[in-house]
Structure 1
Amino acid sequence: MEASFHGIAAPSAVYEIGGRRFEAGSHGFAEAIADAHAVHQRPRCMCLAEGIEMYVARLAGSDRGYIVKRMPDTGSRHAPVCPSYEPPAESSGLGQVLGSAITEDPATGETTLKLDFSMSKIAGRTAMPTAVGDSDSVASSGTKLSLRGLLHYLWDQAELTRWQPGFAGRRTWSTVRKHLLQAAENKIARGDSLRTRLYIPEAFSVDQRDAINARRMAQWSQAIAAPGKPQHLMLLIAEVKEIVPARYGFKAMVKHVPDQAFALDEQLYRRLGRRFESALALWGAVDDIHMVMIATFSVSTAGIPTIVELSLMPTTRHWLPVEDGYEKQLIERLVADGRSFVKGLRYNLGAGGALASATLTDCEGSAPLLFVVNAGIEDNGRYLQVCDPSVPVWQWSPSREAMPPLPPRQPHPTRAADSAVDCR
């Protein structure tokens, strides 16, 4: 996705800036990209001989650093081993929303997101949980991001869909949180900064309990109800611990927030079980599945958070999203075999849409797309039509065959990302 001098992305990328070449993170790189930003100069990523144009954006926050980003809709033009490589948008749900629900402005470095859910609440109204994609009839159009679509977008932008062997054992909740918050920087939704509305629990520490709670309540204060006014909603991304009946109504407990439940009303709770039946079944059957929840929530004057809308996303123990048990088998096989890949996400795409479960980035030439063909789908040919015919395609039909051999890996030089302390 991007490379910067403070470790947001892999430091192995090489850029040509003002006629000179710099490895990301090397001596003089920070000054070079700052100068390029000042004169509106575009660096070139040299993953290919001809180079690919990039741009420099300024980061929000106290450090006010700079970051080199790929130009919109150019990710698939990079070499598969390049940190800026991105699978073809049409191989996942990204192709449906890119340029309509997601608009990036290289001149400002800001990305505008159009949402199909509300970020404010009028008293007395309750929304149903959004399980966009469970059937074509409830799938959102590509003009606005659903809750699930937003979660998938942030997961992609945080590079949590990328995997390399060096990441094994080092992707913790703290790492996940850090990169999701960085991914939310410079994102605008409904005219407001997405980052200021996004609450992701800090890793809990008994010694830091009071300080953590104080920071949480300070952030939540913007969502406390005010009489006679629409109430601002917060966004929550967290790992679910349990969703159960409470003394009054129902509640969701999330990990790293042991002393505060999120309230749900009965209507939301009942619909939750029906709309997310398959995801909940996978979570219940497999002990090492993380269940990630994205939700909008309000905060009462008494400080009680109440969920308004939500969506769920199962992930593996390495925080790689999976849709079902078969996809989990494929992803775990790739991890166990030491493969490098990018996990595909559905965004707003309906359940019947062809989705590349993963794209291998450790093969010679074009990156192969890996498809898991769902049972009952007779027309396998449509999986071959989602991208350029020259792109290699691997298919597995679990209901009819054992998993075929994977495309062979080609040796590549060890990248700095594999040995970095900070991983995605």
Structure 2
Amino acid sequence: MDSAGRRAAYLVGGRRLESGSPEFAEAIAAAHAAHQRPRCLCLVGGIEMYVARLAGADGGYIVKRMPDTGSHHAPDCSSYEPPPEVSGLGQVLGSAISEDPTTGETTLRLDFAMSKITGRSTVPVTGGESDSVASSGAKLSLRSLLHYLWDQAELTRWHPGFTGKRTWATVRKHLLQAAENKIARGDSLRLRLYIPEAFTVEQRDAINARRVAQWSQAIAVSGKPQQLMLLIAEVKEIVPARYGFKAVVKHMPDQAFALDEQTYRRLGRRFGPELGLWGATEDIHMVMIATFSVATSGIPTIVEMSLMPVTRQWLPIENGFEKQLVERLVADARTFVKGLRYNLDAGSALASATLTDCEGSPTSLVVAPAGVADNGRCLQVGDPSIPVWFWHPSSEAMPVLPPRQDRRARVVEAAGKP
């Protein structure tokens, strides 16, 4: 569906069909078999799409936008995404992220390990230590991978109709779907990704059994490299334990993740501002992405990790100023896409959000990084023809936001079209 809740319409095999209609699933399956490309009808003439087959037991097919065409769609189309240059996505597309429409698979190049030699000590790296840094977009850091999956799961999108509907169960479902058909280090990312299920006492035993079954692939085997799992979860607390330290995540009351002291100390140094924001604000969730190993005793130990604060709507934020902006947009019932940094360093300008409900083209909202001069040209991101709204928090209150498109005028305009 598009941002207004309407079903997307496609031209499939010469027929106009809406997603979710009774004939749609059969039509796109036939298009996949015939190597046909549907067209999204959000604009006159349509925009070429492709059909990908979903992995897993359920199978099925999905219509996806062609690589690098998200910004070509209408702003209120479900396939629209801001130009990659306005966020950190532009730096990693084509190098760290390679999508193949012929197979429907996306290959991801990672700059962190997904296996380790059993018994060999390693220097723990808190997954953001190299996050920023890499001015190179050749590989994805842990933070970049989390940002990519959040984008692919469309958890960076917001529309007033989403209010009250984005729960942890919803977040988990969309993240797992986003991981489908993603290949990392020659293996299925989905099979290595563990996201805790929404916990209920009644389902405790069944949930634990599924967790143990999935984790079995990461238990050390003598003479072979130990496979690591990938965790995405909401942090409850990271605290000293009876021995060492532990990370406790929500929806897993029976099992904590062990941390060694060096990782714990580096966590505080690298993510001090994010942890400070989380500690001072009751309505912030803290999302963790981590690689972890599983001992023969069944105890999981974190190897590398990164953190991402999100609002109560699960929209990522970097600091208190972005929190103010996102809260204003939500309160004003605006429709927007939240921008993410990926590998970009903290001083690089990016669109904190892109408004998609403005008159004309979408508008980039830029919050000036600390220390940047009051000069819009220093903060220009993406295509210069795209309207940009600037806020310099160090020297001014938040400016008035660009006005929303008049919906009544839009209805009249649409009614007049043939």
State yes or no: 1:195 paired with 2:194. Answer: no
Query: What letter corresponds to residue 127 of structure 1 in structure 2?
Result: P
State yes or no: 1:126 paired with 2:134. Answer: no
Q: CA deviation at 1:217?
A: 0.5
Per the normalisation by structure 1, the TM-score is 0.93
Counterparts of 2:382 and 2:159 in 1: how far apart (Å)? Answer: 24
Q: Equivalent residue for 2:22? A: 27
Is this contact kept in 1: 2:5–2:161, CA < 8 A? no
State yes or no: 1:65 paired with 2:60. Answer: yes
Counterparts of 1:100 and 1:356 in 2: how far apart (Å)? Answer: 21
Q: Equivalent residue for 1:171? A: 166
DSSP 3-state at the match of 2:372: coil
Is this contact kept in 1: 2:361–2:387, CA < 8 A? yes
State yes or no: 1:397 paired with 2:392. Answer: yes
DSSP 3-state at the match of 1:183: helix
Is this contact kept in 1: 2:131–2:141, CA < 8 A? no
Is this contact kept in 2: 1:141–1:348, CA < 8 A? yes
Q: 1:44 to 1:119 in 2, by over 3 A?
A: same
Superposed CA deviations along residues 229-248 of structure 1, whole A, max 9, x for unmatched, are: 21100000000000000000
State yes or no: 1:363 paired with 2:358. Answer: yes
DSSP 3-state at the match of 1:207: helix
Aligned residues: 405
Is this contact kept in 1: 2:229–2:292, CA < 8 A? yes
DSSP 3-state at the match of 1:252: strand
State yes or no: 1:351 paired with 2:346. Answer: yes
Q: CA deviation at 1:382?
A: 4.4
DSSP 3-state at the match of 2:125: coil
Structure 2 alignment gaps of length 5 or more: 409-418
Is this contact kept in 2: 1:373–1:380, CA < 8 A? no
Superposed CA deviations along residues 223-272 of structure 1, whole A, max 9, x for unmatched, are: 00112221100000000000000000000000000110100000000110
Q: 1:133 to 1:361 in 2, by over 3 A?
A: farther
Q: CA deviation at 1:34?
A: 1.1
Q: CA deviation at 1:35?
A: 1.2
Counting aligned pairs with the same residue, the percent is 77
State yes or no: 1:273 paired with 2:268. Answer: yes
Counterparts of 1:11 and 1:302 in 2: how far apart (Å)? Answer: 50
Is this contact kept in 2: 1:132–1:148, CA < 8 A? no
DSSP 3-state at the match of 1:339: coil
Is this contact kept in 1: 2:131–2:143, CA < 8 A? no
Q: CA deviation at 1:376?
A: 1.1
Greater Cα shift, 375-384 or 294-303? 375-384
Q: 1:316 to 1:294 in 2, by over 3 A?
A: same
Counterparts of 1:298 and 1:133 in 2: how far apart (Å)? Answer: 21
CA RMSD of aligned residues (A): 1.6
Query: What letter corresponds to residue 323 of structure 1 in structure 2?
Result: E
Greater Cα shift, 255-264 or 223-232? 223-232
DSSP 3-state at the match of 1:55: strand
State yes or no: 1:244 paired with 2:244. Answer: no
Counterparts of 1:385 and 1:410 in 2: how far apart (Å)? Answer: 24
Per the normalisation by structure 2, the TM-score is 0.94
Counterparts of 1:383 and 1:47 in 2: how far apart (Å)? Answer: 34
Is this contact kept in 1: 2:130–2:141, CA < 8 A? no
Q: Which has the higher contact order (CA 8 A, sep 6+)?
A: 1
Is this contact kept in 2: 1:11–1:24, CA < 8 A? no
State yes or no: 1:283 paired with 2:278. Answer: yes
Is this contact kept in 2: 1:354–1:382, CA < 8 A? no
Counterparts of 2:107 and 2:5 in 1: how far apart (Å)? Answer: 25
DSSP 3-state at the match of 1:369: strand
Q: 1:364 to 1:337 in 2, by over 3 A?
A: same
State yes or no: 1:91 paired with 2:98. Answer: no
Is this contact kept in 2: 1:48–1:78, CA < 8 A? yes
